[in-house]
Structure 1
Amino acid sequence: MIPPATAPAFLAQAGWDGAAIVPLAGDASFRRYFRVLDGGRRAVLMDAPPPHEDPRPFIAIAEHLVGQGFAAPQILARDLDQGLVLIEDFGDERLKEYAESHNAEDELAVYGRAIDLLADLHRLPAADVPAYDHAVYQREVGLLTEWYCPAVGLAVDVDAYRAAWDAVLPIADQSKSPVVTVLRDYHAENIMLIDRPEARGLGLLDFQDALAGHPAYDLVSLLQDARRDVSPELEAAMLARYRVAALPPADFDAAYAILGAQRNAKIIGIFTRLWQRDGKPRYLSYLPRMWGLLERDLAHPALAPVKTWFDANIPADMRHHALEAHAQA
């Protein structure tokens, strides 16, 4: 987490000459974040190095969200050629740590605010972004057979896997739900608690991959969180809250299960790739949770073809902790 060599000159040009640059966080991509401190001022420096990263989608979605009344970071300065962006600092209080350090009543309340924010977002027209469509869903679920299955030594029927998804995805594709802005990583580590009146006091991060798609997807991101346990009781309460706020159509429950299975299968593949290709083994510790969530989703009748494929191709003892055991062997 050494700042890029060009950072001091970029900050000086932006009016932050001599500011301290302190490591803040890295993530699953090539992006890195640093806190910039200058007396009583502070901001966040995003390092999104080309050609691996392009900060323009982040900027565009941030400006779109702010224009719709949500709290996305203000863009203070940018150098697109170097992939450097100086953004507003939302502080350190994430929904994750707040929920884990407070009682169940407080957890319920803060998740309720996050659900209400989604309902607000889903009442508005979608951003001008590409569609989250059948082809994208298929490409993403393919990450499981591309990365996870070989990593645990399984040769599986990939054609049948695609066919099983082809059989169930139309329920989500053709849902009567509105097409909305899908932030895609709307979870407890990307939702900040901020002392501001707009957007229910919640600051949004990590939305640069936003697409236009089904409203259930971000509910899955939040309530089937890859990085923390959300109890089935809390998930059910929040889904009930969303139904009251957004009045979704009758096919919503099936679409939620399908997109839950789709997202969880994708994440199993991504986390395997992060270990195998990118040298980030810590993501393997999340796989047991992801398999548990995936199996819950597969139990929905709408997912019967996909469940049949999993039962035939990935035995129970090759799930959950299986990859961790392979990695340690």
Structure 2
Amino acid sequence: MEKETLNLNSDVHEFIQMNIGSEYSITKASEDASFRKYFRVQEKDKTIILMVAPPDKEPLDQFLFLAKSLKARAAKAPEIYAFNHNLGVILQEDFGAYSLMHHYQEPDKKNDNLIFDNLNETIIHLQKSCSDIDLPIYSSQILLNELSLFHEWYLKDLEFDQKKLESIYFYLITKIEQQTKKFVHRDFHCRNLIINDGKICLIDFQDALIGPITYDLVSLLKDAYHKKNDSQIIDVCIKYWELARSCFDVPPDFGDFFVDFEMMGVQRHLKILGIFKRLFLRDEKKQYINDIPLVEDYVIDVSEKYPMLSYLKELILNKREVEMKR
């Protein structure tokens, strides 16, 4: 075993040794916006992912339940090899380190159309085959709680008109509630989608709900970590819509479907702006501050098209002005 412990306590090392033996090395794999951390354990010619999650903040139950449920429905979720609830640790299948973000960084982006076709088919498969999993509904209250993060954290120390903002929240929730509800991964973005042998592999799915049909599509196409051009967004959206309308109740007119997509995007991005600001201010995860401008741009772009949302552009521009003066 390597001497470096990476701040893992002796109980965690004992857990690893109990399950794979004493001959292993361990390196940091990644961490996310939650309290979870991931490590890559090398054992002879095989690697395994170790997930460490503080039991009081990130219980393992839902992740374990969903990993089993998704695999049973032919979704590409990791095999679970061992876990310990008290320690908050899981040893799971390693899909490799090549995420969709790595694909985006390729200079020639080989097989781009094929990958996006696979991504669309993955969303459709999850919606068709996994919507019977016993999951909470993405209720209007959850949507509102998420939207509240925008004014509680992003607009912190900025004056705003509460009534105007509440009317926008109500408008967004009303539009979103009209959408067909299916399985929602809820974090279907480039850092959580691993490409392995041409297949789309899922991680970080523990917050899944049954919710709006456009949610995972907008997470993919208006990704907080990567900007796509408008023509690609429209093209992939049309392809998804063509697949979805043969399976689900979606608007027969693509223009109406795209409005649903954009309203869902605004809700998600307002939530993300609040979360990224909270990560910066409360959790001292300073790297997320660099991702805020892209998410702001998404909201500004849509608010320019829909007069009902125009106040959001005003707020974001005011916020940018305040930040520039600091």
- Residue matched to 1:316: 317
Verify: 1:128 aligned to 2:129, yes or no. no
Alignment partner of 2:143 out of 137, 155, 159: 137
Q: CA offsets, 1:31-78, max 9 Å, x none?
A: 000111111121000001121111211111111111111111100000
Q: Quick check: 1:202 aligned with 2:207?
A: no
Superimposed CA distance per residue, residues 207-264 of structure 1 (whole angstroms, 9 cap, x where no aligned partner): 1111110110000100000011111111111101101111132443222111100000
**Residue of structure 1 equivalent to 2:295:** 290
Residues 18-57 of structure 1 mapped to structure 2, 5 A cutoff: 18-57=23-62
Note closer, same or farther for the CA distance 1:258–1:4 as it changes in structure 2 (3 Å cut). farther
Which residue, out of 60, 68, 89, partners 2:73?
A: 68
TM-score, L = length of structure 2: 0.90
Is contact 1:4-1:47 (8 Å) kept?
no
Give the one of 266, 275, 280 matched to 1:270: 275
Q: How has the CA–CA distance of structure 1 residues 154 and 108 changed in structure 2, closer, same or farther, with 3 Å as cutoff?
A: same
- 1:180 maps to 182
Measure the CA separation in 2 of the matches of 1:74 and 1:86: 9
Alpha carbons of structure 1 residues 105 and 9: separation in structure 2 relative to 1, 3 Å: closer
SS in 1 for 2:83: strand
CA distance in 2, matches of 1:174, 1:225: 23
Q: 4+ residue runs of structure 1 moved beyond 4 angstroms? A: none
Residue 130 of structure 1 aligns to a residue whose secondary structure is coil
Q: Check conservation: 2:52, 2:90, Cα contact below 8 A.
A: yes
User: Cα distance, 1:98 vs. partner?
Assistant: 1.6
d(CA) in 2 for partners of 1:43, 1:12: 13
**Structure 2 CA distance for partners of 1:296 and 1:308, relative to 1, 3 Å:** closer
- Aligned AA (2:243): A
Partner of 1:233: 231
> Given the alignment, which residue of 192, 195, 200 partners 2:194?
192
**C-alpha contact 1:48 1:54 (8 A) present in aligned 2:** yes
Q: CA deviation at 1:104?
A: 5.0
State yes or no: 1:165 paired with 2:169: yes
Q: What CA distance in whole angstroms lies between the structure 2 residues aligned with 1:219 and 1:159?
A: 30
* Counterpart-to-counterpart distance in 2, 1:315 and 1:116: 35
* AA of the residue aligned to 1:193: I
Q: Post-superposition shift, 1:118?
A: 0.7
Question: How many percent identity over aligned positions?
Answer: 28
1:251-280 per-position Cα deviation (integer Å, ceiling 9, x unaligned): 432221111000001101100011100111
Q: Per-residue deviation at 1:315?
A: 5.7
Who is 1:156 aligned against? 160
Higher RCO, 1 vs 2 (CA within 8 Å, ≥6 residues apart): 1
- TM-score using structure 1 length: 0.89
What is the distance in 2 between the residues matched to 1:78 and 1:298?
A: 46
Letter in 2 for 1:107: D
Residues 259 and 119 of structure 1, relative CA distance in 2, 3 Å threshold = same
Does the 8 A contact of 2:83 with 2:91 survive in 1?
A: yes
CA distance in 1, matches of 2:116, 2:193: 10
Distance 2:214 2:161 in 1: 29
1:86 partnered with 2:91: yes
1:322 Cα deviation from its structure 2 partner:
5.5
Deviation at 1:100, TM superposition (A): 2.1
CA distance in 2, matches of 1:33, 1:322: 36
The number of equivalent residue pairs is 313
Which of 216, 219, 231 in structure 1 is aligned with 2:217?
Answer: 219
Question: CA 1:278–1:107 in 2, change beyond 3 Å: closer, same or farther?
Answer: same
SS at match of 1:70: coil
* Runs of at least 5 residues in structure 1 that lack an aligned partner in the other structure: none
Distance 1:7 1:263 in 2: 36
